[in-house]
Amino acid sequence: MSSYFHYRDNRLYAEQVPLADIAARFGTPCYVYSRAVLTDSFHRFTEALQGREHLICYAVKANSNLAILNIFARLGAGFDIVSGGELQRVLAAGGDARKVVFSGVGKSVAEMLMALDAGILCFNVESAAELDRLNDVAESMGKIAPVSLRVNPDVDPKTHPYISTGLKQNKFGVAYDEAIALYRKARNLSHLRITGVACHIGSQLTEPGPFIAAAEKILLLADALAAEGMPLEHIDLGGGLGIRYRDETPPEIADYVAALLGVLRGHSEKLILEPGRILVGNAGVLLTRVEYLKHGEEKNFAIVDAAMNDLMRPALYDAFHEILPVEREINAPPLPNPPPLGGEGAIEKSNSSIFEIVGPICETGDFIGHARSMAIAPQALLAVLSAGAYGMSMSSNYNTRPRAAEVIVDGNNMHLVRERETVRQLYAGEKLIS
Ligand code: LLP
């Protein structure tokens, strides 16, 4: 837990604001972010990169709330986007299009038109067909599109298979061995201008090794391109730095950057990074209230008002998120007596303090946490930690559940940065037929 989320007199605070006050004012489920954590993590990058020409392109997909994008824009960030929608968010939040890199394997013509019109920094192109399409679209607009190839370095990131992207078998990027040929092709397309190279090998990496291995391969490629008369302006090493959810020990930002700069020694190209999770993950918690305590045959359930539609990571990746009581004293009923040994039914289930923390959705996969040993009072407020990244941005309306409110805490102040959705908004575009 970041130090900006802390207990004072047994009450959990975000900066100087008790989380219980936020729940009382805005209801639950509610995402709460600390501005100080957002700012601090960004500054760690800029400090580590001092003296090196660089651009931190925050990966919008991690959390695309306009207020968060705006905070990063004001700190000088660029943005890594993967859709026209994300571009519109960046622009609406006051981001600078000239600091935007556009990743993704499936860019549509409409998205290319929008991005060329906005004047983004670079398209990270992921296939030969995309080079052709981008060239055609640029030509139709009388523009020259800046391009990098996203190269797949075939490095094992040693992370969850759903979020590893830099292996040969993944759909991402162009094959390392084909990269030079594709650069030659790009050079010959009249409405493209080669500006760089990009790679991104996966997310939630907890060791520096794979980043270094990928960077080394990308630099070899950059050298080979320079030797062919295609010097690059920038090298984009993607995102992927992991955070601590439970007991992981990912490198510190400073150490990660230092390791990359070590590999880059002798290279003067501008360094672009695309961090997402590391900037926002531990800046946010999901506040939820217990609706019911239910003692099943084999397990005890705390049924909370947040569900897999609000935070999909546990259901999708079996991801672990720490869960803490928002008010420790109120939440602490007498600790269970040690269960008498042996004898069926000897354990009084209501005393058990091992809970399945689950949501109200009609799916067994709807859980927030398994087998959590904690005291939970009826109606208690809980905080699901490390929920700032890929929480709200992956939320859905399954079971016609309006999406949660979002609040940013800044010192003593709380700001509602996204209203809770209403059910009317959910079906506003739907029509009956006769
Ligand atoms: N750049 C590109 C091209 C990406 O695909 C991603 C993430 C990033 C940067 C940012 O990666 P980060 O620094 O956040 O690791 N939903 C999953 C994570 C999916 C990541 C997809 N790509 C999760 O909840 O763990």
The predicted-structure confidence for 164-223, as pLDDT tens digits, reads as follows 676 676 778 899 999 999 999 999 999 999 999 999 999 999 999 999 999 999 999 999
Rounded CA separation 88/97 (Å): 10
Looking at residue 163, its pLDDT comes to 66
The DSSP secondary-structure symbol of 64 reads -
The answer to whether 248 and 211 have CB atoms below 8 angstroms apart is no
Phi-psi label, residue 385: left if phi above 0, alpha if psi -120 to 50, beta otherwise? beta
Q: Which of 86-100, 352-366, 407-421 has the lowest mean pLDDT?
A: 352-366
Where do the domains of the chain lie, and which CATH numbers do they carry?
5-33+281-426 (2.40.37.10), 35-277 (3.20.20.10)
| pLDDT (average), residues 276-300 | 95
Amino acid present at 159? T
Looking at residue 297, its pLDDT comes to 86
Residue 277 in contact with ligand 1 by CB distance below 6 A: yes
Secondary structure (3-state) at 1: coil
The DSSP secondary-structure symbol of 99 reads G
Would you mind telling me the total number of residues written for the chain in this entry?
Answer: 434
The answer to whether 289 and 118 have CB atoms below 8 angstroms apart is no
Q: How far is the CA of 389 from the centre of ligand 1 (A)?
A: 9
The predicted-structure confidence for 320-337, as pLDDT tens digits, reads as follows 999 999 998 644 554 444
Residue 104 in contact with ligand 1 by CB distance below 6 A: no
β-bridge partners, 272:
55, 236
Looking at residue 160, its pLDDT comes to 73
The predicted-structure confidence for 105-126, as pLDDT tens digits, reads as follows 999 999 999 999 999 999 999 9
In the predicted model, what is the mean pLDDT of the chain?
Answer: 93
The predicted-structure confidence for 345-362, as pLDDT tens digits, reads as follows 333 333 348 999 999 999
For residue 313, which atom of ligand 1 is closest to its CA?
24
Looking at residue 329, its pLDDT comes to 61
Rounded CA separation 327/333 (Å): 12
Q: How far is the CA of 332 from the centre of ligand 1 (A)?
A: 38
Q: Which of 151-165, 201-215, 279-293 has the lowest mean pLDDT?
A: 151-165
Burial 355-391 (b: 16+ CB within 10 A, else e): bbbbbbbeeeebbbbeebebebeeebbbbbbbbbbbb
Q: How far is the CA of 158 from the centre of ligand 1 (A)?
A: 14
Cα end-to-end span (Å), the chain: 54
Distance from chain centroid for Cα 150: 20
Pocket test for ligand 1, best of 203, 218, 246, 392 (most atoms within 8 A of CB): 203
Distance from chain centroid for Cα 358: 22
Residue 238 in contact with ligand 1 by CB distance below 6 A: yes
Secondary structure (3-state) at 82: coil
Residue 79 in contact with ligand 1 by CB distance below 6 A: no
Looking at residue 144, its pLDDT comes to 98
Q: How far is CA 132 from CA 112, 174, 287, 364, 432, in A?
A: 12, 14, 47, 45, 42
For residue 281, which atom of ligand 1 is closest to its CA?
14
Q: What's the burial of 273, exposed, middle or buried (CB within 10 Å: 0-12/13-18/19+)?
A: buried
Residue 103 in contact with ligand 1 by CB distance below 6 A: yes
Pocket test for ligand 1, best of 82, 277, 320, 386 (most atoms within 8 A of CB): 277
Which residues are tagged catalytic?
362
Residue 157 in contact with ligand 1 by CB distance below 6 A: no
In this structure, the residue with its CA closest to atom 7 of ligand 1 is: 203
| pLDDT (average), residues 141-149 | 98
Looking at residue 158, its pLDDT comes to 76
Q: What band does 344 get if pLDDT is binned at 50, 70 and 90?
A: very low
**Token digits of residue 210:** 């794979």
